[in-house]
Amino acid sequence: QVQLVESGGGSVQAGGSLRLSCTGSRLTVSSYCLGWFRQAPGKEREGVARIGRYGSTSYADSVKGRFTISKDNAKNTLYLQMNSLKPEDTAIYYCAAEPGACSYDPFRERDFPYWGQGTQVTVSS
């Protein structure tokens, strides 16, 4: 059974940084399109960043220049480096995996059959 497990969430003051990790089991990250999504209280889940099998990336406008998605195929791990965090970044962050090549729409949730359980990120002002 494919599993994705996120870690690295926590509480930080505005302007701070966090790095989220997502490790896959029974899933080889080099063969998947991988994404980070988030859901803030009372809001719908939204796409944050995506990385293709060969490293191409896409970002939501709200995080461009502040967040960086990357992966380490040898460690089978996906990362999200979050800098200059803002209170509006507060959310539960989920990693997700889509087999093979990335779809044209970078953040269409139904394209991602595998999801982690989420990790909480809280940014205080």
pLDDT tens-place string over residues 47-79: 999 999 999 999 999 999 999 999 999 999 999
What is the model's pLDDT at position 93?
98
What is the model's pLDDT at position 106?
86
**What average pLDDT does the chain have?**
96
What is the model's pLDDT at position 1?
85
What is the model's pLDDT at position 51?
97
What is the model's pLDDT at position 99?
94
Query: Is 83 exposed, middle or buried, given 0-12, 13-18 or 19+ CB atoms closer than 10 A?
Result: middle
* pLDDT beneath 70: ranges in the chain: none
What is the model's pLDDT at position 123?
98
